[in-house]
Amino acid sequence: MACWDSAGALRDAARRLLIANRKIGTARLTGQPYRYTCPSPRLYPYQWLWDSCFHAIVLADLDPAFARDELATLLSVVQPDGFLPHVIFWEGRRGHHLWPLLLGEPGSRPHYSAQTQPPMVAVALERYYDATGDRAFVAASLPAVERYYRWLGRSRDWDGDGLLAIIQPYESGLDASPQYDAALGLDPFSPVRHVWNTLRSTLHFSSLRWRRDLVRASGGFNVKDLFFNCIYVYNVRALARLVRLTGGDAAAWERAAARSEAAILAQCDDPVRGFYTSLYGVYDRRAVPVTVANLAPLLLAGLPAERVHGLVARLENPAQFGRRYPVPSVAADEPTFDPGPSLFLWRGPTWLSTNWLVYRGLRLHGRTAAASRLAERSIALVLKSGFREYYNSETGAGYGAENFGWSTLVVDLLRRETIDDRR
């Protein structure tokens, strides 16, 4: 139970947590130094891509020097072709979990996974610059950052239609979200079949040694993920601003963002239901369940005003996302909605990472009152239950890992409530 009674106390608690979660050392296999913040020391001791970006966003204000180290450590693993993994096992150990063995990139040094994750890097780097004015670090980081976003556009736009594909639910960061049930052959959902189908897909890709050409040709899990694509567009626009900041030509990145945004608005549109969906399979079938991913188009600057209005209405509708402690990861009127603790994450509880992204989307479109209400309820969650991995959207109870890094994003929400920043 949290007992902080002021914004300053909340900031101090966040700072202490992020310091306690630090991992500083040298990779045993390569001699490469690392300095990063793990999500939770006991359950998640490694460096995760989008977690690390969220940590850097908060640290940009609380400890700018370590925010710089966090980003530098992450970017040091960008591969020559631009690939950036979703987990890096810096200490040379694959841990006590089975999945790092199955998801690992064969022969990688340091050992890392063969998947990526929502590409939050550019937004994190921009937040660091806004807090510090450190243009030299931005300029030094951009070659690796641009290489990563080029890899995404080149290696994951399989159909050449401007939409990026993910090859595992893990890559979206939303893991067992019901929006992937159909793509995994789970209709209806069954816990046993979910474990088996996910494991079977992982074993198949692992047998291919995660060779990206073979994975693509194998016809396995293939989702043009709405959440992932909206985050990509949002970050490519941040990347364009950073390139202009350092005197570069950002035209190619502006075109890339506009092309992918147009593809989302045209191809992911479900005009009957009045919102946008993920697409899966070779025939681009629509993911049916309504989840927090359906709110991700708020991150698109070109989202039509009537669709902004519709998404905000869904966000604040008590029958869908407007619960006591929003934003639930699944709409409350969905049959799969379950706000309690579970081994199958992202099927109903509230997460601070997605709250922060929805908040940014609301601010982008000038919906400041709705953003402030969401910030207030997000902060109330942390005040009630501490920095937990996820929360019950009905009661506010905290679940999963304790001392969870990205829930410190409430500090950034507090900061943004005092400024006028619509990015």
Assess whether 389 carries a catalytic annotation.
yes
**What is the Cα–Cα distance from 308 to 165, expressed in whole angstroms?**
25
Q: Are 293 and 302 in contact, with CB atoms under 8 Å apart? A: no
Two structure tokens written together for 236 = 């490519």
> Catalytic one among 146, 334, 389, 412?
389
Using CA of residue 216, residue 219, residue 220, residue 223, what is the dihedral sign? positive
**What is the Cα–Cα distance from 340 to 359, expressed in whole angstroms?**
23
Residue 254 CB-density burial (10 A; 0-12 exposed, 13-18 middle, 19+ buried)? middle
- Residue 350 φ/ψ, nearest 5 degrees: -95, 140
Assess whether 175 carries a catalytic annotation.
yes
**What is the Cα–Cα distance from 110 to 89, expressed in whole angstroms?**
7
**What is the Cα–Cα distance from 157 to 163, expressed in whole angstroms?**
6
Paired residues of 269 in beta bridges = 276
Smallest Cα–Cα separation from 409: which of 10, 5, 9, 2?
10
Tally Cβ neighbours within 10 Å of residue 8: 10
Collapse the DSSP code of 46 into the 3-class scheme (helix H, G, I; strand E, B; otherwise coil) and give the result: coil
Smallest Cα–Cα separation from 280: which of 241, 224, 329, 242?
224
What Rg, from alpha-carbon coordinates, does the chain have?
20
> Catalytic one among 12, 134, 161, 175?
175
Active site residues: 175, 389
